[in-house]
Structure 1
Amino acid sequence: MVSKPADKFRLTPAFSKILVTICSLLILSGCLQQSQTIQTEWQSPLLKDHPLNGQIFDIKNNSNISYSQLINQLGNYRYILIGEKHDNPDHHKLERQLLGDLQQSSATRVVLEMLNQQQSSGFNQLNASSSNKEIKDALHWPDKGWPWKDYSGLVVSALQNNNDIRGGNLKRSLLMDIYRGAKPDEARFTTVSKISSDIKQTILKQVYESHCKTIATDQLAPMVEIQISRDASMAYNLTQKLTSTQQAILFTGGFHGRKDTGVAQHLVQLGADKREIITVQLVEADEHALTAQDYPFASPQIADYIMFTPKYSDQDYCAPLRKTAEH
């Protein structure tokens, strides 16, 4: 039987036997009494009593798993894609926890959607003892779009653990060039032309809905190209000069983290085996969806695991766009 490419990240049989023996000896202490929920003090104020809060749903097996089981599973894969809702503080807290439990010094590459490739050169000036201000200044952190208070813990953790950290996003001038129809001649965009028309149609639907259905779909082609180009850039930075012993973790928005349309599609085009890629979606509870199967991300084509949290805001983000469209 051909072994999975990700098998090299698994525990050795000998060590697994030792771990089982230790757990057997410690049953009375609760080694095998794993909690099926994430234990945390939620910062998001809405739907704190929702029954799914803290649950981790294994989509393939249609069952809940414990946090330690999730960490054990993630350790088997070369590429881990973690999708967040950008304004949810509980998502940022869980991301810091996930990184803290997964990172293995320089054997871990961390790619951030929040930084562009040029900004990440600032890491060359930093080290584990750098202060928050030194880090923010060296990276020219884009606080307006990505509040430093939300992501400082993630960046500091990666720096202190000597992770291989890279930005995956595109600088504004390049985004504008793509919007105007330019095709950047860079290695990180080689996968853009390989994305199928079916996937582009799905992305078009996502972009249409994310713009609150206020812009006609025939005007959204430039936005689709930007979305695909950003996915391509993040995938490239996950794979570029990645050594055989490194594991790469991406922190990004939920749509970029989708298996069917996002960064994963570009990873495959760059030569990654699908069995090397795993996705975790951090998802806010919905008062009208009381079981995990009720959520759009709960499809094996879209994600592998869902971690549920309370909801941060009930603000109608579409209201300003609708108001502009009316005038």
Structure 2
Amino acid sequence: MPPSPFPFLLSSPRWALLLGAIALAGCSAFAPADDAPVSRRIASLLPADALLIGEQHDAPAHHLIEREAVQALVERGRLAALALEMAEEGNSTGYLDRTASESQVRTALSWDDKAWPWSDYGPAVMAAVQAGVPVVGANLPREHMKDAMADVSLDAQLGDAARAAQQDAVRAGHCNLLPESQIVPMTRIQIARDRAMAQAIVKARVPGKTVLLLSGSGHTTKALGVPQHLPTDLRVRTVQLQAGAAGERSAAFDSVWQTPALPEKDYCESLRRSS
């Protein structure tokens, strides 16, 4: 679970707008239309050793797409593993049979339903389990976050420009309400989480197949997120799921898939009230 009590903030429209401003990489040359079947859109991104899909956590349409993405890779015989921001590293369904119940799967992943509603992610998770594909936790364990905040070596994991952009993203993701003294430590947590997810992908890698990571879109941006921590010999593709139009499409991803806009919501209101 993210260190903030507002885990949606780093995948909110505020974060998406910031990503557009700091985009540093090029888009995919071939991008099927937004109304193309998910299986076709997935096919356009293959071959890939790792496919990173970045969601807005509270967008129902994104969870449907994630379920279809799992199924598309399963049908092609390409899914090596399903890695999740929504479960901590060290948790895995690898020892379970494909007939395992949802209760068994949730136990295997130490699932936190308050942080990540099972009704949102269960369909994608169970599609992988029922196909005999391991589902692995990829997020940094909560008990490691305090150490990450003090780990100065994490500052060197990004270049100066990217680290500054990540710090701006942390500010925006917390509605510009964090004390400035907390920006560097909280940025280190974000970097540590990205690195943990990258390590989970590397561990799950199978030649000729694809590891699928589901996470918030802030983790999938090529300039700042998980791709920065992956070996250069991995073929990595990134997708941003975008709820509604947000101006020009971000070049921080290989592909941007637009979904219907959500009702307007002030994501910072409750945080302002409690500050």
- Give the TM-score normalised by structure 2: 0.81
**Residue aligning to 1:299:** 250
Give the Cα–Cα distance (whole angstroms) in 1 for the partners of residues 151 and 261 of structure 2: 39
Distance change in 2, residues 1:91/1:262 (3 Å): same
Matches within 5 A, 1:113-192: 113-120=85-92, 123-179=93-149, 181-182=150-151
Residue matched to 1:272: 233
The equivalent residue for 1:323 is 273
3-state SS of 1:240 partner? helix
CA gap 1:89/1:208 in 2 versus in 1, 3 angstroms: same
Q: Relative to structure 1, is the Cα distance of residues 204 and 191 closer, same or farther in structure 2, using a 3 angstrom cutoff?
A: closer
| 1:33-62 deviation digits (Å, cap 9, x = unpaired) | xxxxxxxxxxxxxxxxxxxxxxxxx94448
Change beyond 3 A, Cα 1:193–1:151: same
Q: Distance in 2 between matches of 1:94 and 1:324?
A: 34
Quote the residue 1:194 is aligned against. 157
Partners of 1:87 and 1:107 lie apart in 2 by 25
* Matched ranges for 1:246-265 at <5 A: 246-265=209-228
Q: Over aligned residue pairs, what C-alpha RMSD do you find?
A: 2.4
AA aligned to 1:166 is: V
**CA positional deviation for 1:125:** 4.3
Deviation per CA, 1:170-220: give whole Å up to 9, x if none: 2211113323x147xxxxxx9873321211111111110011111244431
Structure 1 residue 319 displacement after superposition: 1.0
C-alpha deviations, 1:121-162, integer Å up to 9, x for none? Answer: xx1442211111222233221111011111111110111111
Q: Taking structure 1 as reference, are residues 324 and 109 closer, same or farther at Cα in structure 2, changes over 3 Å only?
A: same
Extract unaligned runs of 5+ from structure 1: 1-57, 184-189
Q: Structure 1 residue 314 and structure 2 residue 264: aligned?
A: yes
Change (3 A) 1:107 1:137: closer
Which structure has the higher relative contact order (CA within 8 Å, separation 6+)? 2
Q: Distance in 1 between matches of 2:81 and 2:106?
A: 20
Residue 244 of structure 1 deviates from its aligned partner by 2.1
Question: How many residue pairs are counted as aligned between the two chains?
Answer: 246
* Amino acid in the other structure paired with 1:285: G
Of structures 1 and 2, the larger Rg is shown by 1
Q: Residue type of the partner of 1:245?
A: G
C-alpha separation in 1, matches of 2:151 and 2:31: 46
Counting only pairs closer than 5 Å after superposition, residues 25-174 of structure 1 correspond to structure 2 as 59-61=27-29, 64-65=32-33, 66-67=36-37, 68-103=39-74, 104=76, 108-120=80-92, 123-174=93-144
State the match for 1:224 in structure 2.
187
- Flag the 1:72–1:139 CA change in 2: closer, same or farther, 3 A: closer
- Secondary structure class of the residue paired with 1:215: coil
SS of the residue 2:85 aligns to: strand
The answer to whether the 8 Å contact 1:105/1:162 transfers is no
Task: Flag structure 2 segments of 5+ consecutive residues without an equivalent.
Answer: 1-25
Q: Displacement, 1:272?
A: 2.9
Compare 253-262 and 207-216 and name the one that shifted more: 207-216
Is the counterpart of residue 281 in structure 1 residue 240 in structure 2? yes
Contact 2:109 2:137 in 1 (8 A): no
- For residues 77-125 of structure 1, what are the alpha-carbon distances to aligned partners after superposition, in whole Å with 9 as ceiling and x for unaligned? 22111000111111000100011011255852221111111232xx144
CA contact (8 A) 1:89 1:312 kept: no
Q: Percent identity?
A: 30
